[in-house]
Amino acid sequence: MINVKYRYKSFVVIFFCNIVWNAYGLGQPKDTQVKKEVAPVKTHNKNEDLGWHYYWDDEEAKEKEEEKIVPPVAQPTSFKKLIKPFSTEWFKENFEIIQQTAIDSPTKTNMKALLYAERVMADKSEVFARQKQFVQSVDPMLQEGTRIPMAGAAKNLLMTYKAEQKEEALLEVNKHVGIGFFYDGSCGYCQRMIPVINLLKDKSGIDVRVFVKNTPKNYIPGLSNNIPVYPDKGISSTFEVTFWPAVVMLRPPEDVYVIAQGSLTLQELTTRIVNIAFDQNILNEEWYNRVYPEQQGLLSPEQLADLPNFDADDPVSLINAVVELLESPQGTYQLKDDKNEKL
């Protein structure tokens, strides 16, 4: 006979075993067992201890910022440049202050300060001008009269010489080019150019031809009989003449140079003709020195470029070295073309 007490204990043991078995899914197949997920830790309390492998992001960033801190570097102390009183640099820096102070507050003291500052500047300027004139008077290399007569009969002689050389240059130009004059019968400025054209023909003998429009029977009052007249017939458009009167230089077989559009004097006209002849290599360097003798003795860019190296902080020594160049016979302006070659 089975003991009732023993049976009751056995029943209780089996009952609790079943509960544990079912609670943990030990009685189900592996693929049907329920996996229990662990909820993430949610907290905003930085004082809460979550374990050694937990940390707060801002604490790590703070540590990195502390590592990047660089001690400040001491800046060098700047000293203001000492300026000599009443020097040009001193006036440049202080005169405007003195002036504006007198304007804003025209008291007797401020006005006297301005007037005396102006007096000092005027005296310094006068001393400078007189000393400059004196030094120039005792050094022949600094006197323009040594190279070109500047006064009196000598200057008049130079002007006469230049005029003669220009006339001879025009005679030389006449061997290579001709002049075309465009005349409009309805243009008053064109009529005023007729005496100039006549003088150009008489003095230089250059071949001059006149092309006309709006002129009955191609007759121009006052024009010399030895100057031929032709109707325009589109020649002005071919030569790109847009304003009348106009003067062009014709160089066979095809070269055309517009000298002037509008009226001008005989001196202006002859000067432009000669200069274009130089520019187009019709006249050479020898003619240039004859027509423009004042260009002789000038320093050339090549001479300045060949100067030896000097201390950049000593410009006075550099300028003094130029004296030797002025004494050199190479100190002559040389006419050059666009390729920087001597003509």
Please, which pLDDT band fits residue 118 given cuts at 50, 70 and 90? very high
341 CB-contact burial (10 Å; exposed 0-12 / middle 13-18 / buried 19+): exposed
Is 71 among the domain residues? no
Query: And the tokens for 254?
Result: 């095809």
Examine the domain organization and report whether 289 and 303 are in the same domain: no
Amino acid at 208: V
Q: Nearest 5°: phi and psi at 3? A: -75, 125
197 CB-contact burial (10 Å; exposed 0-12 / middle 13-18 / buried 19+): buried
Q: Sign of torsion, CA 202 203 206 209?
A: negative
317: domain range? 297-327
Dump pLDDT digits (tens) for 193-202.
999 999 999 9
State what percent of residues in the chain have pLDDT above 70: 69
CATH number at residue 269: 3.40.30.10
How far is residue 295's CA from residue 162's CA, in Å, rounded to a whole number? Answer: 12
Examine the domain organization and report whether 226 and 314 are in the same domain: no
Better pLDDT: 181 or 17: 181
Q: Bridge-partner residues for 209, per DSSP?
A: 180
Q: What's 280's DSSP letter?
A: T
Helix (H) or strand (E) holding 259: strand 255-261
Examine the domain organization and report whether 303 and 175 are in the same domain: no
Amino acid at 251: R
Is 149 among the domain residues? no
pTM of the model: 0.56
Q: Count how many domains the chain has.
A: 2
The reported pLDDT for the residue numbered 81 is 72
The pairs formed by 219-224 with CB atoms below 8 angstroms and a separation of 24 or more are 220/183, 220/185, 220/191, 220/194, 221/191, 221/194, 222/191, 222/194, 222/195, 222/198, 223/194, 223/197, 223/198, 224/197, 224/198
Dump pLDDT digits (tens) for 27-45.
555 554 445 555 555 555 5
